[in-house]
C-alpha cells in the first residue's frame, strides 16, 4: 500500500508531469469569455517563425513544391542554397528531421507549423507561455528549438529576411481580397457588427511553401491559420477557422445550456467515423456541429444537396448538425444578431426528439480501401490515428480526468503494444488517479532495457524518446525519496543524468534531486505540516 505521503506526491507531481495538450479539440475550452458582436484584430501577414522553420525544413530535405515560389525568385534561390548547406549543425538538423518524420508528409509538416506558431521571434525562438502546456505536436519535437536557433545563425536568415519579405506582398494582397469576402459574408449571415475586443486575434499567415495544405491552431484567444496556395479547399479552411473565432466564445458562454443536451453524446460516440477527440467531449462536439451547421446554411444548398450533407453528418456521428440546421432556419427569419440569439439556438434542440430519431440508427463503418490503396496509406493512417489518440489522452491529463486518460492510453496500448509514449501517459494517468503501485511499475518498465529494445516498431516512425527515459528516472527518484529510500532515489537521479540527449529541464531536475531529497509542494489550501 502506498504511504499517505506518497499519495500526496502523486497529486502534486502532476503539475510537472502533465503533457501539454492544447490541440484542435481543446480550442473551444480555452476560448475566454467575450461580449456579443464580432471582432477586430484580423491580420494577414508573413511570419518570421514560419519562414525560418520552413527554411530549416528545406535544408533538412522536406520535399516542397517549388512551383509555389514562382512570384518569389529570392526565396527560390535561397531554397537552392539551403539544400547545399553542409556542416555538423546541418547534419544534426537533417538527422532530427529524419528521426521525427511520419509516413504522411502532411502530418510531418503540420507538427513543424504548430511548433512555429508556439515560439516567439528569432533568434532565440523562445516558447510563448508555460512550457508545461505546449501542444502535443510541439512536445514531439523536443530539441528542434535549439537546432533551429543554430541554423538561423548559420544560414544568416536575419540578413535574408528583409530581402525576401517583400516577395510575400502579392500573395498577401490576394488573401486580403479573399478574406474580406469571407468576413463580409460570415458577418452578414450572423448579423454581427465588427467592434474592438481585448486581446482576441485572428491571423492568416501566408507561406507559399506549405502548398495547398492549411494548418489551423488556437492558443487561448489567438487564432492562427497558415496557408499557401489559394484553392477552394483553402477558402473553406479559412471560413471554418473564422467561424470558430466568432462562435467559440458563444458556445463557451452558454455551457450550462450545452450540458443539458449531453445525453446525445452516448448516441454520437457509437459512430465509428466520429473523430476520437469527440467521443467523451460533448462540449467540443457541440461546437464543431454548430460550425458545420452554419457552413451548410451559408452555402444555400438545394433541398436534395442539403439532405445529402445532413445525412453524411449523421453517419459521421455529428448528429447535432441536423437539429442545429433546423434551428438556424428560424434564426434566418428572426432579427437579433447571433450573439443574442445563440441561447435560443441551443435551447431549440429537443433531446427526446433526437433520441427517438436516432433510435436504432445504424452508423456505417469507415469505407474499406482496396488492397493497393490500403498498402500505400496504412502507415500514414496508423500515424495519424496514433497521434490523434495520444493527443486525446494528453488532453484528458491536462483536464485532470484520470479515468478518461487511462481508458484512452489503454486503448492505444491495445493497438500499439508497449509504445513508450502511451506507457508514459498511462503512468501519468495512474499517478493522477492515486494508483502509486501501477505508476511506479510503468515508470520502471520505461527505463528498463527490454522496454526500450522492444518498443521499436510500435510508435509510428519514432524511436524511444530520451526525454521519456530521463523524466521516468526523475520521477522514480522522487517516489523513492518520498518512501525515504534516499540511496535508491539518488541512483535514479544519476541514471537520468546519464541519458544521452535528455532535455535540459530533466537534467536540471535530476541534478537537484542528487543534491537535495525531493519534497513535494503543498497544494492550495493544504496543511503544510508533514504528512503521517
Q: What is the pLDDT of residue 191?
A: 93
Q: What is the pLDDT of residue 474?
A: 87
Per-residue cell: 124: 532565440
* Separation of CA 328 from chain center: 30
Helix (H, G, I), strand (E, B) or coil at 39: strand
DSSP state of 119: B
Q: What is the pLDDT of residue 220?
A: 77
> Alpha helices, DSSP H only, in 399-485?
402-415, 420-433, 436-447, 449-454, 466-482
Is the CB of residue 157 less than 8 Å from the CB of residue 55?
yes
* Separation of CA 143 from chain center: 18
As beta bridge partners, residue 38 has: 194
Per-residue cell: 339: 450573439
Going from the C-alpha of 467 to that of each of 38, 217, 230, 474, 498, the distances in angstroms are 43, 25, 39, 10, 12
| 517 Cβ contact list (under 8 Å, min separation 6) | 481, 486, 489
In angstroms, the CA 41 to CA 290 distance is 23
| 227 Cβ contact list (under 8 Å, min separation 6) | 175, 204, 205, 206, 207, 210, 214, 234, 237, 238
| 67 Cβ contact list (under 8 Å, min separation 6) | none
Say how many C-beta atoms besides its own lie within 10 A of residue 63's C-beta. 8
- Burial classification of residue 326, based on how many CB atoms lie within 10 Å of its CB (0-12 exposed, 13-18 middle, 19 or more buried): middle
Residue position matching grid coordinates 496504412: 378
Per-residue cell: 419: 509504445
Per-residue cell: 81: 542554397
Domains of the chain, first to last: 4-21+387-515 (1.25.40.10), 44-172 (no CATH), 174-191+228-349 (no CATH)
Per-residue cell: 41: 484584430
pTM metric for this prediction: 0.66
Q: Terminal CA-to-CA distance of the chain, rounded, Å?
A: 14
Going from the C-alpha of 367 to that of each of 315, 370, 406, the distances in angstroms are 12, 10, 29
| 5 Cβ contact list (under 8 Å, min separation 6) | 482, 530, 531, 532
Q: What is the pLDDT of residue 172?
A: 94
Q: What is the pLDDT of residue 236?
A: 94
Torsion sign, CA atoms 526, 530, 531, 532: negative
Is the CB of residue 85 less than 8 Å from the CB of residue 153?
no
In angstroms, the CA 378 to CA 374 distance is 5
Q: What is the pLDDT of residue 453?
A: 38
Q: What is the pLDDT of residue 399?
A: 60
In angstroms, the CA 198 to CA 357 distance is 43
Residue position matching grid coordinates 445525412: 311
In angstroms, the CA 176 to CA 171 distance is 9
In angstroms, the CA 291 to CA 304 distance is 21
In angstroms, the CA 412 to CA 26 distance is 20
In angstroms, the CA 479 to CA 515 distance is 16
pLDDT tens per residue, the chain (532 residues)? 344 444 434 444 443 343 332 233 333 322 333 333 334 689 999 999 999 999 999 999 888 888 888 889 999 999 999 999 999 999 999 999 998 888 778 888 988 999 999 899 999 998 876 666 677 778 788 889 999 999 999 999 999 999 999 999 999 999 999 999 999 999 999 998 766 566 789 999 999 999 888 889 887 788 999 999 888 889 999 999 999 999 999 999 999 999 999 999 999 988 888 887 788 789 999 999 999 999 999 999 999 999 999 999 999 999 999 999 999 999 999 999 999 999 999 999 999 999 999 998 998 876 644 444 444 444 444 445 677 787 777 766 756 778 888 988 888 888 888 888 888 889 888 887 878 788 889 999 888 865 343 444 443 334 557 778 888 888 898 888 888 899 999 999 999 888 876 766 677 778 888 988 987 654 444 443 333 2
Is the CB of residue 207 less than 8 Å from the CB of residue 54?
yes
37: left (phi over 0), alpha (psi -120 to 50) or beta: left
Q: What is the pLDDT of residue 198?
A: 61
Is the CB of residue 163 less than 8 Å from the CB of residue 74?
yes
Q: What is the pLDDT of residue 2?
A: 42
Is the CB of residue 477 less than 8 Å from the CB of residue 492?
yes
Q: What is the pLDDT of residue 309?
A: 96
DSSP state of 520: P
Sheet holding 42-45, edge to edge: 42-45, 201-206, 222-227, 215-219
In angstroms, the CA 432 to CA 427 distance is 9
* Separation of CA 479 from chain center: 30
Q: What is the pLDDT of residue 505?
A: 62
Amino acid at each position: 500500500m502506498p504511504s499517505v505521503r506518497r499519495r500526496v506526491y502523486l497529486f502534486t507531481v502532476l503539475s510537472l508531469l502533465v503533457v501539454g495538450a492544447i490541440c484542435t479539440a481543446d480550442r473551444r475550452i480555452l476560448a475566454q469569455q467575450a461580449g456579443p458582436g464580432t471582432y477586430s484584430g484580423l491580420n494577414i501577414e508573413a511570419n518570421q517563425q514560419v519562414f525560418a522553420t520552413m527554411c530549416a525544413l528545406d535544408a533538412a530535405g522536406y520535399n516542397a513544391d517549388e512551383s509555389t515560389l514562382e512570384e518569389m525568385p529570392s526565396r527560390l534561390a535561397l531554397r537552392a542554397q539551403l539544400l547545399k548547406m553542409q556542416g555538423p549543425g546541418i547534419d544534426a538538423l537533417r538527422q532530427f528531421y529524419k528521426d521525427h518524420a511520419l509516413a504522411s508528409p502532411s502530418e510531418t509538416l503540420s507538427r513543424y507549423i504548430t511548433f512555429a506558431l508556439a515560439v516567439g521571434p528569432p533568434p532565440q525562438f523562445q516558447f510563448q507561455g508555460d512550457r508545461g502546456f505546449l501542444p502535443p505536436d510541439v512536445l514531439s519535437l523536443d530539441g528542434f528549438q535549439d537546432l533551429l536557433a543554430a541554423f538561423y545563425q548559420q544560414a544568416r536568415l536575419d540578413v535574408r529576411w528583409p530581402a525576401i519579405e517583400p516577395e510575400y506582398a502579392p500573395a498577401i494582397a490576394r488573401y486580403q481580397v479573399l478574406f474580406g469576402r469571407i468576413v463580409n459574408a460570415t458577418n452578414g449571415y450572423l448579423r454581427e457588427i465588427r467592434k474592438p475586443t481585448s486581446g482576441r486575434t485572428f491571423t492568416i499567415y501566408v507561406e507559399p511553401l506549405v502548398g495547398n495544405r492549411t494548418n489551423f491552431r488556437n492558443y487561448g484567444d489567438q487564432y492562427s491559420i497558415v496557408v499557401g496556395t489559394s484553392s477552394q479547399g483553402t477558402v473553406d479552411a479559412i471560413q471554418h477557422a473564422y467561424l470558430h473565432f466568432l462562435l467559440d466564445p458563444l458556445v463557451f458562454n452558454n455551457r450550462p445550456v450545452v450540458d443539458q443536451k449531453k445525453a446525445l453524446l452516448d448516441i454520437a460516440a457509437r459512430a465509428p467515423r466520429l473523430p476520437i477527440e469527440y467521443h467523451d467531449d460533448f462540449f467540443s462536439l457541440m461546437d464543431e456541429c454548430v460550425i458545420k451547421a452554419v457552413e451548410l446554411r451559408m452555402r444555400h444548398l438545394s433541398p436534395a444537396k442539403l439532405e445529402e450533407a445532413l445525412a453524411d453528418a449523421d453517419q459521421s456521428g455529428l448528429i447535432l448538425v441536423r437539429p442545429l440546421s433546423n434551428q438556424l432556419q428560424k434564426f434566418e427569419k428572426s432579427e437579433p444578431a447571433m450573439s443574442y440569439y445563440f441561447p435560443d439556438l441551443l435551447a431549440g434542440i429537443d433531446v427526446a426528439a433526437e433520441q427517438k430519431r436516432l433510435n436504432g440508427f445504424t452508423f456505417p463503418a469507415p469505407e474499406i480501401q482496396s488492397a493497393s490503396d490500403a498498402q500505400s496509406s496504412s502507415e500514414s493512417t496508423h500515424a495519424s490515428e496514433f497521434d490523434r489518440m495520444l493527443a486525446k489522452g494528453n488532453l484528458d491529463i491536462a483536464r485532470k480526468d484520470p479515468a478518461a486518460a487511462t481508458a484512452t492510453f489503454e486503448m492505444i496500448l491495445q493497438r500499439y503494444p508497449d509504445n513508450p509514449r502511451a506507457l508514459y501517459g498511462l503512468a501519468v494517468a495512474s499517478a493522477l488517479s492515486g494508483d502509486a503501485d501501477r505508476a511506479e511499475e510503468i515508470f520502471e518498465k520505461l527505463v528498463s532495457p527490454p522496454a526500450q529494445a522492444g518498443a521499436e516498431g510500435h510508435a509510428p516512425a519514432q524511436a524511444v524518446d530520451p526525454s521519456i527515459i530521463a523524466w521516468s528516472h526523475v520521477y522514480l527518484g522522487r517516489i523513492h525519496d518520498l518512501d525515504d529510500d534516499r540511496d535508491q532515489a539518488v541512483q535514479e537521479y544519476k541514471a537520468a543524468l546519464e541519458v544521452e540527449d535528455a532535455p535540459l529541464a530533466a537534467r536540471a531536475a535530476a541534478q537537484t534531486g542528487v543534491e537535495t531529497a525531493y519534497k513535494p509542494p503543498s497544494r492550495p489550501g493544504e496543511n503544510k505540516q508533514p504528512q503521517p
